[in-house]
Every structure is written in structure tokens, then in C-alpha cells.
């Protein structure tokens, strides 16, 4: 179940929920009607009955009455709950400068990461110290050339793999509201 809240709405027509199995190519999976105008907190929910994949990426497009839209952060769901290391959310699969990840670790550990081109060539690697529980990680992607990349995070004898796309600042999605994950 996806759940999100808005604290204020102006000309909110509807939300389109998109999903992806690779974090890059998204397709519409549903929509939810918006409240129009509201000055109070409104909570919305969407149940994806066709989740299927182990790891699924979601984002929400918010459409206004003039048919313009903004795009939310990208959220990751994983059906396996026994992971020792799991990326639970990310700022977006599209970035011009910075990539932010939230990583859940069951123990304190040193995690290694690699940024790879899609052909497997390693561009950079490093280590991050993880504490038990949720960890906020940030990576500077500003020096990467535009294109698609794979980030591999290893720790606790497990490996997490995500794909991102580096773009020009002018190609970045416009974010005008926050999405909260419960």
C-alpha cells in the first residue's frame, strides 16, 4: 500500500502512480483523484495489486487543473523483509548533482559502494559506515557525465543494486511538494 499526504493543495486535479522494475523506465499503474483546493492535511492511498517483482520503484506525478505536473521522489519497495541490508528510498532515479539514499542495516557495518557505467566499467568506489537501523547516504554525482549508471552497495554479506540517470539541470523533474512514507 502506497500512502502519502499533502499539507496544502491548490488546483490539485489528480495523482498518477507510476512504477518500474529498473528505476529508469516507469509506466502508469493507477491514478487517484485530488482534492482540488485544501488548506488541511489530506492523506491518499493506492494499492498496487500487481506488484509481482521483488523490488519495485514507484513515483507519483501530481497534476494541476492546467495539466502541468510535478514528479515526486522515487520510492523503493522490496517484498523480501529478511534483508540484512536494504535501500528503502532514494531521492530520485534522475539526478543532476546529488543522490540521496536511505539504507536499512540490521547491524553496524562498513558498506562498500561502486558507481558503474552500464557496460560494467567502475567509475568510482568507496566505503560508508552504517549504523544499525536507517542510514542517510549522500553521493555527489555532479562530475559524472550525463548517462545511465548502476550503483552497487555491499554490506552484511548482501548486495543492493540500483540504476540512475544523470541529466542536465534543465532536464531535472520539478518538485513542488513532499511525499512522506509511512
**Count of CA atoms in the C-beta half-sphere (13 A) of 43:** 7
Give pLDDT, residue 145.
92
**Residue 165 CB neighbour total at 10 angstroms:** 15
Give pLDDT, residue 174.
62
In this structure, which CATH number among 2.30.30.90, 2.60.40.10, 1.10.3720.10, 1.10.287.1080 belongs to the domain 2-75?
A: 2.60.40.10
**Each residue of 70-79: b (16+ CB within 10 Å) or e?**
ebbbbbbbee
Same fold, 2-75 and 82-169: yes
CB neighbour class for 92 (10 Å; exposed up to 12, middle 13-18, buried from 19): buried
Q: Which three cell numbers stand for residue 109?
A: 557495518
Write down the architecture of domain 82-169 according to CATH: Sandwich (2.60)
Give pLDDT, residue 78.
74
The residue ranges of every structural domain in the chain are 2-75, 82-169
Indicate whether this model's pTM tops 0.75.
no
CA atoms 32, 28, 4, 1: torsion sign: positive
User: Does pLDDT of 161 surpass 60?
Assistant: yes
**Each residue's pLDDT tens digit, 9-38:** 888 889 999 999 888 899 998 888 888 888
pLDDT average, residue stretch 98-118: 90
Amino acid at each position: 500500500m502506497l500512502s502519502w499526504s499533502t499539507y496544502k493543495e491548490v488546483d490539485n486535479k489528480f495523482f498518477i502512480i507510476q512504477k518500474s522494475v529498473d528505476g529508469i523506465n516507469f509506466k502508469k499503474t493507477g491514478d487517484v483523484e485530488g482534492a482540488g483546493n485544501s488548506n488541511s492535511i489530506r492523506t491518499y492511498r493506492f494499492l498496487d495489486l500487481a506488484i509481482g517483482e521483488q523490488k519495485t520503484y514507484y513515483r507519483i506525478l501530481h497534476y494541476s487543473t492546467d495539466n502541468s505536473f510535478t514528479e515526486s521522489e522515487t520510492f523503493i519497495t522490496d517484498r523480501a523483509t529478511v534483508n540484512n541490508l536494504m535501500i528503502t528510498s532514494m531521492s530520485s532515479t534522475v539526478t543532476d548533482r546529488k543522490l540521496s539514499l536511505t539504507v536499512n542495516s540490521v547491524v553496524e557495518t562498513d558498506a562498500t559502494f561502486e558507481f558503474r557505467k552500464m557496460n560494467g566499467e567502475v567509475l568510482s568506489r568507496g566505503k560508508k559506515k552504517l549504523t544499525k537501523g536507517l542510514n542517510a547516504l549522500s553521493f555527489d554525482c555532479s562530475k559524472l557525465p550525463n548517462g545511465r549508471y548502476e550503483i552497487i552497495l555491499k554490506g552484511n554479506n548482501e548486495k543492493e543494486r540500483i540504476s540512475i540517470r544523470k541529466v542536465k539541470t534543465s532536464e531535472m523533474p520539478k518538485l513542488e511538494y513532499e511525499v512522506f512514507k509511512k
